[in-house]
Structure 1
């Protein structure tokens, strides 16, 4: 496990490589019988990985549940539906608290806009370097995606007035949650590097 960035460390500390157990199940399914193989040797690098992963996991476990869910949604190799839903709820609630008054119909649609922004934000930051392009930078593509995935149509007569401010607020909320979730992980990485 390399300690290059907090995003990468979050992913790597939960990543489980293809191991002997998976190989055994595959052989059993393909051949209908067990094939004897030598045991996988555990080297010092495996022990070092476990120690580093444990330090990162400890930092993650101390986060408040909403931040932990957001981080897992963004960076964990296997995100649960519970984490995704908790992250979506956190982003939506924070975005609504930063927004002005709006009609009930618009609030209902804003929930799906927040989910769409989270999808966009995740795609832009996957891989740990935050260098990917926004997959739906165009309002037309974003509206089409929300309609296709959630079946919710966003009126587009005045996109810049009606929806763009809320989209921007959702991105700001995602950035705030991201920084708050990654900060303790980055601090743990710094401490581990200093101790080495």
Structure 2
């Protein structure tokens, strides 16, 4: 297990390679014969490091844990984690937004889901290297219509939706930071002790 970032540690901590296997071989379900030396204690070191990260994750508030799992877990996320993460983004963005009509609030819930999906894609795999695929309002509106059947008007986009989209991204960053903070603390302590 490499400890380069809290995001990567969250992702990698659930791999459980068997003795002598790399985590990739464990995931693929095959063992590739190599000319290198035989089994080592790497699996024990991985388990120790992963256990510390898993322990930090387990101590997080349910919403933060669900957000982190939806974002970074190595195993396929369950819908409960994703739905709780989307709800957290929506609720936080709404607390920061100006008042909305009931109709706009209903559509705003889907906007928050869409922004969460964009944010997750951008930070997928813990590297945070992907560009926002729906950065242009036309692309985002088209995707929202195709994915959720929600129509967002292009007229007055800058007034009606752009601020809420930004509030959703801000909420994602804030929740992400709260979820990753304790993991970063554990990593810092492990590196300091090394």
TM-score (norm: length of structure 1): 0.87
What is the match of residue 5 of structure 1? 5
Q: Which is greater in Rg?
A: 1
Once residues 127 and 97 of structure 1 are traced to their aligned partners in structure 2, the CA distance between those partners, rounded to angstroms, is 29
Q: Structure 1: where are the runs of 5+ without partners?
A: 24-40
What is the match of residue 59 of structure 1? 56
What is the match of residue 69 of structure 2? 72
Q: Structure 1 stretches (4+) deviating beyond 6 angstroms?
A: none
Once residues 167 and 20 of structure 1 are traced to their aligned partners in structure 2, the CA distance between those partners, rounded to angstroms, is 36
The aligned runs of 1:70-149 (5 Å cut-off) are: 70-77=67-74, 78-149=76-147
- Count of matched residue pairs: 180
What is the match of residue 192 of structure 2? 194
Say if 2:56 and 2:186, in contact at 8 Å, map to a contact too: yes
The Cα of 1:21 is off from its aligned counterpart by 11
Once residues 126 and 7 of structure 2 are traced to their aligned partners in structure 1, the CA distance between those partners, rounded to angstroms, is 5
Partner SS for 1:187: helix
Once residues 63 and 181 of structure 1 are traced to their aligned partners in structure 2, the CA distance between those partners, rounded to angstroms, is 7
The Cα of 1:155 is off from its aligned counterpart by 1.4
Partner SS for 1:49: helix
Q: Structure 2: where are the runs of 5+ without partners?
A: 17-22, 31-37
The Cα of 1:58 is off from its aligned counterpart by 0.5
What is the match of residue 49 of structure 1? 46
Partner SS for 1:14: coil
The Cα of 1:88 is off from its aligned counterpart by 0.8
Once residues 73 and 40 of structure 2 are traced to their aligned partners in structure 1, the CA distance between those partners, rounded to angstroms, is 25
Could you list the per-position Cα deviations for residues 49-97 of structure 1 after superposition, in whole angstroms to 9, with x for gaps in the alignment?
0100000000111110000001111111221111001101111111111
Partner SS for 1:127: helix
Once residues 189 and 67 of structure 2 are traced to their aligned partners in structure 1, the CA distance between those partners, rounded to angstroms, is 23
The Cα of 1:159 is off from its aligned counterpart by 0.5
TM-score (norm: length of structure 2): 0.87
What is the match of residue 33 of structure 2? none
The Cα of 1:172 is off from its aligned counterpart by 0.3
Once residues 63 and 169 of structure 1 are traced to their aligned partners in structure 2, the CA distance between those partners, rounded to angstroms, is 23
The Cα of 1:176 is off from its aligned counterpart by 0.2
Once residues 183 and 122 of structure 2 are traced to their aligned partners in structure 1, the CA distance between those partners, rounded to angstroms, is 20
